[in-house]
Amino acid sequence: MTIDIEAIRAFSDNYIWAMHDGRHCVLVDPGEAPDALDFLKRNNLRLAGFLLTHHHADHIGGVDEIRTHRPAPAWGPPDSRMPDRVSPVREGDRVEIPELGLAFSVIETPGHTRSHIAFHGHELLFCGDTLFSAGCGRLFEGTPTQMQRSIDKLADLPEPTRVYCAHEYTADNCRFAVQVEPDNEALQARCDDVAELRRNDRITLPSTIGDEKAFNPFMRTRRPAVAHAARQREPDCGQTPEAVFGVIRRWKDAA
């Protein structure tokens, strides 16, 4: 059985990932309902469930409306800000979707929000706003140390793991990343590819964990070149990966 993963575009730069086998479908982070409902109808798919990474409206805003038309179970972090009737899942829990023959394990990735989670299985990673291609989420509710640990967990996944993040931020992230690592050839190549894709209004995702380790500065805080760039920016920052991470994140926030 083959599983297709298609992007449903939402808002200006969100992707709702639709994972399906031609009969059943799982929706990841549906921030709005109309296009997701249309996708299910057009492709004649039954909704098997929702995977939800965090409570922000652009990730959960469509859940209630979709469910009034297509009742289905939902899994997400234990957080009172989540919609009603979301089964809370924690680090190491498994989410089973028997209709699609899929199972995902839950990875807690605090930093962007304090209860953010990611779903991993079948060499697929749905990581919401924790890891972006060539970037990472803003630290709304967490510290650089927390986010560094979260990103470290994702970096430990097998390198072929495909990374499905929730936003099309790659071109902007590439522009920033070259300031951090101007001599990184893998990054240069990624920037060129992304520029070409975006010129044609194409999606830059998924990438892979192996790719991200080669060019994402937030996955490279132990690399001398990245630590060096951080020290240039904040000379007293210290050398721990967490400190370097904090500098790079503040730098990106100000960029």
Instruction: Write out the residues near Fe ion by the rule CB under 5 A.
Output: 58, 129
Please report how close the Cβ of residue 167 comes to Fe ion at its closest, in angstroms. Answer: 6
x/- mask, Zn ion, residues 3-42, rule CB under 5 A, reads ----------------------------------------
Q: Which residue in 152, 59, 72 sits closest to 113, CA to CA?
A: 59
User: Residues 3, 17: contact at Cβ < 8 Å?
Assistant: no
Q: Collapsing DSSP states into helix, strand and coil, what is residue 169?
A: coil
What is the phi-psi region of residue 47: left when phi exceeds 0, alpha when psi lies from -120 to 50, beta otherwise?
A: beta
What is the closest distance, in whole angstroms, from the C-beta atom of residue 166 to Zn ion in the complex?
A: 7
What is the smallest separation between the CB atom of 138 and Fe ion, expressed in angstroms?
9
Helix (H) or strand (E) holding 164: strand 162-165
Q: Strand 207-208 vs strand 4-10: parallel, antiparallel, or unpaired?
A: unpaired
| Interaction between residue 129 and Zn ion (CB under 5 A) | yes
Output the smallest distance, CB 142 to Zn ion, in A.
12
Cβ of residue 29: shortest distance to Zn ion, in angstroms?
Answer: 9
CA–CA gap between residue 36 and residue 150 (Å, rounded)? 29
Nearer to Fe ion, 129 or 181 (CB): 129
Q: What angle do CA 119, 123, 128 make, to 5 degrees?
A: 35
Binding mask of the shown chain, residues 193 to 232, with x at each position contacting Zn ion by CB under 5 A = ----------------------------------------
Segment near Zn ion (CB under 5 A); pick from 51-59, 69-77, 99-107, 228-236: 51-59
Rank residues 130 and 148 by Cβ distance to Fe ion and give the closer one: 130
116 binds Zn ion, rule: CB under 5 A: no
**H-helix or E-strand containing 152?**
helix 144-155
Residue with token string 């249309």: 38
Nearer to Zn ion, 129 or 168 (CB): 129
Q: Containing H/E element for 211?
A: helix 209-215
Helix/strand/coil for 79: coil
Choice between 128 and 246, CB closer to Zn ion:
128
Binding site for Zn ion (CB under 5 A): 56, 129
